[in-house]
Amino acid sequence: MDHRAAIIQYTARSGVLDLGWGHPLPELLPTEAWSAASRSALREHGWQALTYGAAAGPRPFIEWLAEHLDSYDHADTRPSEVFVTNGASHGLALATQLLTEPGDVVLVDSPTYHLALPTIADRRADIVAVPTDELGVHPGRTAELHERLVRGGRRVRMLYLVPTFGNPTGRSLPHQRRLELVELARRTGITIVEDDTYRELVYDGDAPPSLWSLAERGTVVRLGTVAKSVAPGLRLGWITAEAGFVRRLTGLGYVNSGGGVNHTTALTMAVFGASGAYRGHVASVRRRYAAQRDALLGGLRRAAPDLRFSTPAGGWFLWAELPAPLTAESLAPAAEGYGVAFVEGAHFFVDGADGRSFIRLAFSMLPPDVLATAADRLGQAIGSLRPAGDDI
């Protein structure tokens, strides 16, 4: 009997190579190294590893994290500016809860991480997409939109975006726009919620500086997670924010009641980090995911030359534009027929119509040879829908 359906989120479909899920390749999850770190953490901290933890998270983890993040993204993050969460999703839910009242406007990038939308909507916020172009959020036009909303009597409290190796596009916001956005936040009082989930997974060059590192304190709340660099099942993430915001988090009723929200895991991660195991692990998964990215890119260039996409320098996703007049909705059943699946672009837009001609392909979950086969199948599916005589 197969018990996996009751254990993990992903459900495989027989015969389908699924590029829809942003999940890790199972063999890259560090089961042995994590098990060793767990034993060390219990040896080192004894009973303290298993009791209620400090509200913001255990100090050894917070100190390791602040130092690690600042070692390549110079933000001078102080321990009092870190709050440990159950992953970036939890960080987003908490930030939305603290920053907004029901009925407030929350601005979002377009396209943006599709599962952020229901998380923000849980707070009964009114989600409005900001103007964008092929480089990402357009700060000048976003300022105009903000002005229009405020003039119309709306409260605009928050802007959510994934500016570094974003989901779904894989692209990063240019430096100048980062500066303009943090200035806009400072001037207007909007808080930018920067989802920095993919920062560690950089394949070409360096990751750009975070908005958190560029902004005055009080304008950016940054979300992080070990979901992509270590393992999503750990449900371990963090918020970095000005110390006053962290104090509001530690004062939440359920934190007061239960202590730090992921104490034992965070202590284990501190050991995993301080031992050097994390650095080695990340270096190795970067190489593997880069090879997976290249296999999918190479396969698509060969098998689907009329798809338009750029090379993501990090993260897990490739964002592709279909040749006109093809839509993702019409391609999806044909692709399934050829044994390959993706996420339709419409999911990543507040107004789904804007995404009709896009698809998101995750290269995270399958090894290079399988990704090459998936690319072949996608190419065949696209070819099967081309108007007759198109290739003559």
Ligand X SMILES: Cc1ncc(COP(=O)(O)O)c(C=O)c1O
Q: Which residues bind ligand X (CB under 6 A)?
A: 22, 87-89, 113, 162, 167, 195, 197, 225, 227, 232, 237
CB of 168 to ligand X, least distance (A): 8
* Closest alpha carbon to 270 in 260, 258, 278: 278
CB of 105 to ligand X, least distance (A): 21
CB of 339 to ligand X, least distance (A): 24
Q: Which is nearer to ligand X, 85 or 327 (CB)?
A: 85
Q: Which is nearer to ligand X, 202 or 303 (CB)?
A: 202
CB of 330 to ligand X, least distance (A): 26
Amino acid, res. 167: N
Residue 312 preceded by cis peptide, ω within 30: no
Do 317 and 22 meet the contact criterion of CB atoms below 8 Å apart?
yes
Beta bridge partners of 221: 193
Q: Which is nearer to ligand X, 22 or 111 (CB)?
A: 22
Structural element, H or E, at residue 19: none
By beta carbon distance, the residue nearest ligand X is 87
CB of 26 to ligand X, least distance (A): 16
Structural tokens at position 240: 């970095």
Region class of 301: left (phi > 0), else alpha (psi between -120 and 50), else beta = alpha
CB of 237 to ligand X, least distance (A): 5
Q: Which is nearer to ligand X, 132 or 167 (CB)?
A: 167
In our burial notation (b when 16+ CB lie closer than 10 A, e otherwise), range 150-165 reads eeeeeebbbbbbbbbb
Q: Which is nearer to ligand X, 166 or 379 (CB)?
A: 166
Q: Which is nearer to ligand X, 195 or 376 (CB)?
A: 195
* Closest alpha carbon to 220 in 172, 161, 147, 171: 161
